Structure 1
Amino acid sequence: QEVRNAIKAYEGFQQWQPGQEVDLLEAHQILMTGLIDEVGQYRHGGVGVMSGDRVVHMAPPANQINRLMADLLDWLNDSEIHPLIQSSVFYYEFEFIHPFSDGNGRMGRLWQTLILSRWNPIFVNIPVESLIYQNQKAYYEALQASTDRADSAPFIEFILQMILDAILSSNDTAQDSDHATAQADAEARLERSDQVERLISVMKQEDYTLTELMQLVGLTHRATFQKNYLNPAIEAGLVDRTIPDKPKSPKQRYRKIL
């Protein structure tokens, strides 16, 4: 359900205006349908931002959300600063307010992508959202640092670094596609892929389901896991299917190759 919602949101998100509250609420409804009860509406209770079992930020009380979000959206509509900074500031303030009962991280990433794509359409296809998701520990550390210092700079610096890394990664992939064979691409990606090394390091000499492998590396997004972890490991000959002639078999398992 989470994946279906995300696909629907990203397929239609360019119809939304970043500074319109009605569009923000509609996006949350699409993104969180079937996952929580309070979809498309601001939260009615208190929430905190958690990293594991640790609270890294306590959000403002629910009775302040309407005012805070109105101020933030007004600022977004009136701001004339560079979109890279503007989108990062919005992202931080949005996460600080934490206006929804759940889905705030996903909404913040979606809305930054929307703001950036209004500046340059190339950001529709640059995986900033995925890279932030893959670096959640550093994300939480930056959020806490900004909260502790009452200064958004650490969080903004982190987000800008993620944007730069995503652009460079996309550029590297494009160059590889132009100048190397498919096998060479797989080897090059493997050399750069901390994700593959992470997957191999946690696998023991036993058979795993796809869900079990995702749990090992702490991911819930199936498509991201297959693209960045599992498929590159299989292509590189580091992981094998137990039923190689039926890749989509419900009985499929995966094992590390000695």
Structure 2
Amino acid sequence: MKIEKPPYTITPEILFRIEEIGEAIGRATGISQDLRLRRINRILTIRGSLAIEGNILSEEQVSTILDGKPVIAPLRDIQEARNAIKAYDQYQQWNPASEADLLHAHEVLMIGLLDAPGQYRRKDIGVMGGGEVHHIGPPPGRVPQLMANLLAWLGSTDEHPLIASSVFHYEFEFIHPFEDGNGRMGRLWQTLILTRWKPLFAHIPVESLVHARQSDYYKAIRQSSSEGESTPFITFMLEIIPEAMKLATSIKRNFEELRHEQDI
């Protein structure tokens, strides 16, 4: 099969952002070592990704569900959180270029929420974001071929992981291969790709920053769709990744200050 490369342009700004993130990685020591920090960042990640899709659970409620305790909330929101917790517990075992792992991940994320989780959609779909239809997804008959090409490209490209993960994320959302859960899957898969590159990213709450800048996230998707290439979306993601790293570092610093005060 001839692999078609997704269209995008590497701009000076993108190169600058990659260098900026590389420097931030060098400064972000110790984030993955403290179990309490890892827990907080996991809660922020899950709550952020679900909130983008309209889930109303608070960080405290997600924490309670993570502990296996009951909460009073809409049953669908609780199921979404339980599924997301399982997915983020398992995702580092998955191969980002494997279709079987992608389908299994969708099943984990959407079990109890869809009639056929882990299967590509079989009907036309409007790609929504921020209450608006961005575009009509490709016909369902083309989805398997489009996903096979995208995964083959991901598995063979020598592009920088920061770029490759963002390209995959955008192209995945453009294809919208599933009936539901596409946003959650796209964000999870970008985190998986980044974590394979630098394990530190397992503990960086990128999804929380996407939620904080949700309107900009959808704007970048719309702009990329309009321009016919993922460059605007790559640029946006490389803007918020350093912000997410700063958030994780700030949480770590607050923990250290609190620990110091308790020791005095």
Higher relative contact order (CA 8 A, sep 6+): 2
Give the TM-score normalised by the residue count of structure 1: 0.68
Label 1:36 to 1:134 Cα distance change in 2 as closer, same or farther (>3 A): farther
Q: Secondary structure at the match of 2:84?
A: helix
* Aligned residue pairs, count: 183
Partner of 2:65: none
Aligned match of 1:171 = 249
Report the Cα distance in structure 1 between the residues aligned to 2:129 and 2:171, rounded to whole angstroms. 18
1:174 maps to amino acid: K
Choose 1 or 2 for highest CA Rg. 1
- Identify the match of residue 144 of structure 1 among 208, 222, 234: 222
Aligned to 2:155: 77
Q: Equivalent pairs: percent with the same residue?
A: 54
- Give the match for residue 233 of structure 2: 155
Letter in 2 for 1:151: E
Q: Tell me, what secondary structure is at the counterpart of 2:128?
A: strand
Matches within 5 A, 1:194-213: none
Aligned-residue offset at 1:52: 4.3
Map of 1:102 onto structure 2:
180
Given the superposition, is the C-alpha separation of residues 60 and 182 from structure 1 closer, same or farther in structure 2, using an over 3 Å criterion? farther
Tell me what 2:88 maps to.
10
**Counterpart secondary structure, 2:120:** coil
2:130/2:218 contact within 8 Å kept: no
Distance 1:70 1:81 in 2: 18
Q: 2-side partners of 1:88 and 1:152: how far apart?
A: 8
1:54 aligns with 2:132: yes
* Alpha-carbon distance in 2 for matches of 1:139, 1:105: 11
Once residues 129 and 92 of structure 2 are traced to their aligned partners in structure 1, the CA distance between those partners, rounded to angstroms, is 31
**Corresponding residue for residue 32 of structure 1:** 110
Matches of 2:130 and 2:91, distance apart in 1: 30
Once residues 32 and 8 of structure 1 are traced to their aligned partners in structure 2, the CA distance between those partners, rounded to angstroms, is 11
SS of the equivalent of 1:55 reads strand
C-alpha displacement of 1:158:
1.0
* RMSD over aligned Cα atoms: 1.6
Structure 1 residue 181: Cα displacement? 7.3
Taking structure 2 as the reference length, the TM-score comes to 0.66
Residue of structure 1 in register with 2:21 after alignment: none
Corresponding residue for 2:13? none
Gaps of 5+ in 1: 184-258
Q: Which runs of 5+ in 2 are unaligned?
A: 1-78
Deviation at 1:151, TM superposition (A): 2.0
CA distance in 2, matches of 1:31, 1:118: 20
Measured against aligned partners, the alpha-carbon deviations of 1:190-211 in whole angstroms (never above 9, x if no partner) come to xxxxxxxxxxxxxxxxxxxxxx
> Matches of 2:193 and 2:229 in 1, distance apart?
22
- 1:23 to 1:148, Cα distance in 2 relative to 1, 3 A: same
Deviation at residue 133 of structure 1 after TM alignment: 2.9
